[in-house]
Amino acid sequence: MNSQFLLEIYNKQAKMIYFYLKKNGCSHEDAEDIVQESYMKYITYSSGVSSNKALSYIFTIAMNEFKKVLKKKGKEQTLIIDDYHFWDNFTSDSDTESMVLNHEMRHEITIALSHIKEVYKQLLVLKYELELSYKEISLLLGMKIETVRTYLFRARKEFQETWRNLYE
Q: Tell me which of 1.10.3720.10, 1.10.10.10, 1.25.40.10, 3.40.190.10 is the CATH number of domain 94-167.
A: 1.10.10.10
Residue ranges per domain, the chain? 3-86, 94-167
Is it true that 3-86 and 94-167 share their CATH fold?
no
- Looking at the whole model, is its pTM more than 0.85? no
Report domain 3-86's class.
mainly alpha
Q: At what angle do helices 3-23 and 28-45 cross, to 10 degrees?
A: 150
Q: 104-131 b/e with 16+ CB inside 10 Å = b?
A: eeeeeeeebbeebeeebbbbbebbeeee
pLDDT tens sequence for the chain (168 residues): 567 766 776 666 787 778 777 766 788 898 899 999 988 888 888 787 777 677 667 877 887 888 888 888 876 555 444 444 554 555 555 566 777 777 788 778 888 888 888 789 878 877 887 677 898 777 766 778 999 999 999 999 999 999 999 887
Distance CA 119, CA 21 (A): 43
